[in-house]
Structure 1
Amino acid sequence: MQRRDFLRLSVLTPLALGAGWCVGEVRATAAAATGIKPDGRPHRFELSRQHFLLDGKPFQIMSGEMHPIRIPAEYWRQRIRMAKAMGLNTIAIYLMWNALEAEPGVFDLTSGSRDFAKFIRICQEEGMWVYLRPGPYICGEWDFGGLPPYLLRHPHIRVRDKDDPDYMAAVRRYIATIAPVVKPLLAESGGPILMVQVENEYASFGHDLGYLELIRSLWQQHGVHGPFSISDGLGQVRKEQTYLPGAALGLDGDTDFAGAQAIAGEMPVWMGEGYPGWITHWGDKDFAKGDFAGTLGKLLAEGRSFNMYVVHGGSNFGFGAGANAHGDYSHFEPVITSYDYGSPIDEHGAPTADYHIFRKMIAAHVAQPLPAVPATPPIIRFAPVTPAPHASLWDNLPPSKQVAAPQGNELLFGQDHGMVLYRRKIPGKGGALRIDGMRDYATVFSDGRYVDYLSRMQHPSLRAGDSVELPAAKARAQAELEILVDSFGHVGYGPAMADRKGIVGSIRLNDEELQGWDVHSLPLDASWLAGLRPLRGTATRPGLFFRAKLALDEVGDTYVDMSAWHKGYLWVNGHLLGRYWQLGPQQRLYCPASWLRRGDNDLLVLDMHRTEAAPIRGVEALQG
């Protein structure tokens, strides 16, 4: 999905039909073709005469997007059934490459929510077609746009560039691994996949049509012959001249179908992304909402194919949330943990008011009665529980690495997420500490005492600038300076795609560059957390883990209210729900029932500022 100004779409250009077709004929024939289901037999999906054809008949794709990695696997079927009951006939999915290959050559296509082939088979079992969007780049407000951050361990990497050997070697490995899984799931093989997208929104990044042609050829070399699509803003495609000949042209938030048809020729033009909601960033005044009913009504009336981005957003569990920024890496905007997106099926899987509006509109358009709306998974509250201090980050530092000057965590440690600590002695007189290229949030300590924080975000409630004033050490010639840097997700849209984390510039005290640092890697991953040594005595320094036992008589989905806390991370029974931040607007983290158990549950909090615990409670909604 594109990072651009939100479009409340209400006016559509009339459909430019191929010769020999009229609006009534297309609508009637498409309705008949819509009754064709993915039944395990081979089906022929074609791009011809400006139409999608299924077994030779015009077919109207009525798609809703959802992403398996953002949904607990046990809820996949319920979410798919919800989309079907709203009247859709297709599910669009992104594959997040970095969720499938966290380290070079180490793939996991089967655990948890990574088993996209199983998700696709469930779509087929539920009578839903699939529009596959496998990347390698997907955007989607996901960390690094779905690209694996291990690519940033190459100092001179140029991503989305056919002439960069390191990038293309990784892309070839990815497609060679994914294509054999995709091939038997294509409609021509008896599966539900109608069409495969080539990359995503490339015109918003580059202008080398040869790159898109190469990506398509890699799929073809591995037996995936399409049909193919691209999806982008019309203005960007027109400017960069990156329409891929022979592909369906999906417009993202754009309605100039006639203008697009002039570029696509005989290939179909459709709404590749239509937005019922929008992105929410940390620091936004409120959760973003949308208004899609007018657009949907016209799409239906004209028989126009569409993909609703998103019909269900889910959650950016773990370190999944991405970020946006300007091309010079300024105006950094990290995405919140929730990917509710204002979508018609909310984060918990419940229908919203828009869901019922859209369902009624689609029901009036299709010939067959819609299925009943599935039940929503049970949701529970729990009474406030107050964790106790458990461990200090400062007691759990791994051995340091000595470096002359800062550089990105990916280059220093091969570390993709989490924290890093910079430490060294400085003159005791104090003064102005300036950090250039700090990514993304830092707390500063002098002789073990908290001094101040710095944030990469440019927000009214946050400190402006990139410097803090260090106090003079009391009767000492030297003081110990410590800079603890926490990271948000990597930028995933636009040209700022070398968004390495930690500190990527210089550190200066009173305008003099400081060199010679001890640096500690704090990845916050499962293996590091497993070795946490508990507190000995009382801790008064920020950077504390807090732990609580939550006793439950019954389990269900819940939203964990962290509004009394400041900034940090929450794990439930070892599962990282994601980031929380007092800045808002999100104060509650979605926790699926499958991550809870009857009896005692373990809650672990790492807060960057609090030294005293605060209550945590379970509530029934993301907001309100």
Structure 2
Amino acid sequence: MRRRSFLQLAALTPFADWSWHSDAMPRAARELIEQASDGKPHRFQLASRDFLLDGHPFQIRSGEMHPARIPVEYWLHRIRMAKAMGLNTISIYLMWNHFEREPGEFDFHTGNRDFVHFIRLCQHEGMWVYLRPGPYICGEWDFGGLPPYLLRHPHIRVRNKDDADYMNALRRYVGRIAEQVAPLMARNGGPVLMFQIENEYASFGNDLAYMKELLVLWQSHGIDGPFSISDGLGAIQKTRSYLPGTALGLDGDTDFVAAQLLAGDAPVWMGEGYPGWITHWGDQDFQRGDLKATLQALLQQGRSFNMYVVHGGTNFGFSAGANADDDGSHFEPVITSYDYGAPINERGEPTADYHAFRALIAASARAPLPAIPAVSAAIRFPALQLEPHASLWDNLPPAKQVTLPQANELLFAQDHGMVLYRKRVHGGGMLSLDGLRDYATVFRDGHYMGFLSRMQKPKQSLDLQMALPASDDETMLEILVDSFGHVNYGHAMSDRKGIVSAILLDGHEQQHWDVHSLPLDDAWLAGLRPIHGTPSRPGVFFRATFALRKTGDTYIDMSAWDKGYLWINGRLLGRYWNIGPQQRLYCPASWLRAGHNEVLVLDMHRTEAASIRGVETLKDADHAA
């Protein structure tokens, strides 16, 4: 998924105006095989500028969805929704950091991590799979799927064959993925037709040898392809990083003729076609798109495609990524919802686009499409008032003394959450945090002075300086730093968190800080000591319990709150922020209980509680068509 503005995408040349060379496009009249994945060995090939399944031309009609963004209880439903829309393939990103949080510690089983089970569900439904295992995937996911533990190496160069630390970690990951994927390849009776090498590498680098080394690495572990790459045509032309012999997927670009000149006899297809787009915190509204005309032409021409995304899901926990310019400026964190304007919305409902796309595909299908599956019930619950539960300030772990600020990853091996910087200072003046990553609230002798933000949006101006009033006395300066996700695209990906350069007060560098690690993980939360009395300053956990007669999907309305994190029954739904556009966080039914439930909110600005309520949609205007 490339970082490209929605307006740029909308300005693409309409499909109907594209010029075609007869020898560069699939023949619309040719006989396309309609073969479901059936558990038997099949031969999938790249030949004659086309995809061949068992020797016959085959049109990949793919929709992307990510098991890591979907509660495991809904995997089968979302696959069936894609099938009922007329697709025959599911495209899947594997997020490396979803499986390996710490070096060498892999988890392929808990929660929604059993991707092999997801792929087997696809096969059970007769769906093929296009597998995109990274190592880098972008996808608006934290660090583009790379494990943030790589940033604990001070001089790491990710996506670089000459960096030993990166390549050692990569080889470990490839080995563990390959041993599970090899039996799932189509030639072995599995549903996996094709395997992507890296992702959008031409938008990052130009070392074709790196791509070739990745290819050889997969092959050495028994993954023989066929292989694909996916990127913007202009980036590939500029960097000359097309990997010979791979299917060439175009991301949002439409000039198949020019792309075929690069690909030779290999197929060119739409590797990512966008029905919607990314939404960042501070956007005016949720992004939407219009893929109908493009989809109609793709179907008419028999051109293979992958719809990014058919169903987006949710950036639960700390998984949302961020975008920034190559110098780190124009930082734009991604919201918690990954609805994306997709035809299957965040909680699995068909949208108006779903029905339009289904009608287009049905018109070219040989057999009636399956019935649209029923969607699980949504519930609402009335406003619930929370109460103060605990204070960050009463739950500080022992401090680490540092001379100068350091990134969280280097100082604490901490990938997400918060840190607190404290020291006693004389006087006042301009406080400057040019190395702030990403948001801070500032306190002086326990009094809230204001916030500083790396964000650059109309509703949230970039501000890394704050005037502190002069004082004749020594005062305690405290800077509480909150982080968003690591940048997931471009050359600013070594986006370490916390404070990564000097703290200046009235132009003078401040040294010798006490720094407290506040990772906000399960282990740290389990030790929270309750508050006694009324909170005196922001940084408060608020809590409430509530009872449900029955469970169902719901959205937790956080519009009365400022900025922070929301947990339901110990599970982190994600971040909220009153600058919008998202004010409601999706909670799947499986995370709720009939009977007793607990909600926990950490707000960076409030000392008084507000209310929450359960509603049925992401926003008031949302509805299933």
Q: Same fold (TM over 0.5)?
A: yes
Q: Distance in 2 between matches of 1:464 and 1:169?
A: 38
Q: 1:414 to 1:341 in 2, by over 3 A?
A: same
Q: 1:535 to 1:83 in 2, by over 3 A?
A: same
The answer for the alignment partner of 2:566 in structure 1 is 570
Counterpart check, 1:11 vs 2:15 = yes
Matched letter for residue 602 of structure 2: L
Is the Cα–Cα contact under 8 Å of residues 322 and 334 in structure 2 kept in the other structure? Answer: yes
Q: Distance in 2 between matches of 1:213 and 1:190?
A: 27
The answer for the alignment partner of 2:623 in structure 1 is none
Please list the CA deviations of residues 134-166 of structure 1 after superposition, one character each: whole Å capped at 9, or x if unmatched: 000000000000000000000000000000000
Give, in angstroms, the shift of residue 15 of structure 1: 5.3
The answer for the alignment partner of 1:480 in structure 2 is 476
What are the residue-to-residue correspondences of 1:334-373 with 2, within 5 Å? 334-373=333-372
Matched letter for residue 564 of structure 1: A
Q: 1:377 to 1:405 in 2, by over 3 A?
A: same
Please list the CA deviations of residues 421-463 of structure 1 after superposition, one character each: whole Å capped at 9, or x if unmatched: 0000000x22211111101000000000100100101123334
Q: Residue 132 of structure 1: SS of its match in structure 2?
A: strand
Is the Cα–Cα contact under 8 Å of residues 28 and 301 in structure 2 kept in the other structure? Answer: no
Q: Residue 23 of structure 1: SS of its match in structure 2?
A: coil
Is the Cα–Cα contact under 8 Å of residues 17 and 50 in structure 1 kept in the other structure? Answer: no
Q: Of 535, 552, 559, which aligns to 1:556?
A: 552
**Structure 2: which 5+ runs fail to align?**
621-625
Is the Cα–Cα contact under 8 Å of residues 15 and 304 in structure 1 kept in the other structure? Answer: no
Give, in angstroms, the shift of residue 18 of structure 1: 5.0
Q: Distance in 2 between matches of 1:387 and 1:477?
A: 38
The answer for the alignment partner of 2:429 in structure 1 is 431
Q: 1:16 to 1:107 in 2, by over 3 A?
A: farther
What are the residue-to-residue correspondences of 1:43-122 with 2, within 5 Å? 43-122=42-121
Give, in angstroms, the shift of residue 578 of structure 1: 0.1
The answer for the alignment partner of 2:314 in structure 1 is 315
Q: 1:521 to 1:24 in 2, by over 3 A?
A: closer
Is the Cα–Cα contact under 8 Å of residues 26 and 50 in structure 2 kept in the other structure? Answer: no
Is the Cα–Cα contact under 8 Å of residues 454 and 463 in structure 1 kept in the other structure? Answer: no
Matched letter for residue 610 of structure 2: A
Q: Distance in 2 between matches of 1:383 and 1:271?
A: 45
Task: Out of 462-471 and 541-550, give the one that drifted further.
Answer: 462-471
Q: Distance in 2 between matches of 1:280 and 1:251?
A: 22
Give, in angstroms, the shift of residue 464 of structure 1: 4.0
Q: Distance in 2 between matches of 1:460 and 1:426?
A: 34
Q: Distance in 2 between matches of 1:501 and 1:470?
A: 24
Q: Distance in 1 between matches of 2:446 and 2:416?
A: 24
Is the Cα–Cα contact under 8 Å of residues 417 and 482 in structure 2 kept in the other structure? Answer: yes
Q: Residue 364 of structure 1: SS of its match in structure 2?
A: helix
Please list the CA deviations of residues 6-58 of structure 1 after superposition, one character each: whole Å capped at 9, or x if unmatched: 31353253555559x972442xx21xx12x11111100000001000000000
Percent identity at matched positions?
A: 68
The answer for the alignment partner of 1:443 in structure 2 is 441
Is the Cα–Cα contact under 8 Å of residues 386 and 543 in structure 2 kept in the other structure? Answer: yes
**Structure 1: which 5+ runs fail to align?**
none
Is the Cα–Cα contact under 8 Å of residues 26 and 302 in structure 2 kept in the other structure? Answer: no
Q: Distance in 1 between matches of 2:20 and 2:418?
A: 52
The answer for the alignment partner of 1:214 in structure 2 is 213
Number of residue pairs matched by the alignment: 615
The answer for the alignment partner of 1:471 in structure 2 is 469
- Cα RMSD of the aligned pairs, angstroms, is 1.1
Q: Distance in 1 between matches of 2:322 and 2:40?
A: 42
Counterpart check, 1:2 vs 2:2 = yes
Q: 1:586 to 1:372 in 2, by over 3 A?
A: same
Q: Distance in 1 between matches of 2:152 and 2:76?
A: 38
Q: 1:173 to 1:275 in 2, by over 3 A?
A: same
Counterpart check, 1:494 vs 2:493 = no
Give, in angstroms, the shift of residue 392 of structure 1: 0.3
Q: Distance in 2 between matches of 1:16 and 1:320?
A: 43
Q: Residue 170 of structure 1: SS of its match in structure 2?
A: helix
Q: Residue 347 of structure 2: SS of its match in structure 1?
A: coil
Please list the CA deviations of residues 165-192 of structure 1 after superposition, one character each: whole Å capped at 9, or x if unmatched: 0000000000001001000000011000
Q: Distance in 2 between matches of 1:65 and 1:464?
A: 34
Q: Distance in 2 between matches of 1:222 and 1:276?
A: 35
Matched letter for residue 518 of structure 1: D
Matched letter for residue 524 of structure 1: L
What are the residue-to-residue correspondences of 1:318-333 with 2, within 5 Å? 318-333=317-332
Moved >4 Å (runs of 4+): 14-19
What are the residue-to-residue correspondences of 1:141-540 with 2, within 5 Å? 141-427=140-426, 429-473=427-471, 477-540=473-536
Is the Cα–Cα contact under 8 Å of residues 422 and 515 in structure 2 kept in the other structure? Answer: yes
Give, in angstroms, the shift of residue 200 of structure 1: 0.3
Q: Distance in 2 between matches of 1:395 and 1:164?
A: 42
Q: Distance in 2 between matches of 1:215 and 1:59?
A: 27
Q: 1:22 to 1:503 in 2, by over 3 A?
A: closer
Q: Residue 254 of structure 1: SS of its match in structure 2?
A: coil
Give, in angstroms, the shift of residue 544 of structure 1: 0.1
Q: Distance in 2 between matches of 1:467 and 1:25?
A: 64
Q: Distance in 2 between matches of 1:25 and 1:288?
A: 36
Please list the CA deviations of residues 320-356 of structure 1 after superposition, one character each: whole Å capped at 9, or x if unmatched: 0000000000000000000000000000000000000
Q: Distance in 1 between matches of 2:462 and 2:110?
A: 43
Matched letter for residue 454 of structure 1: L
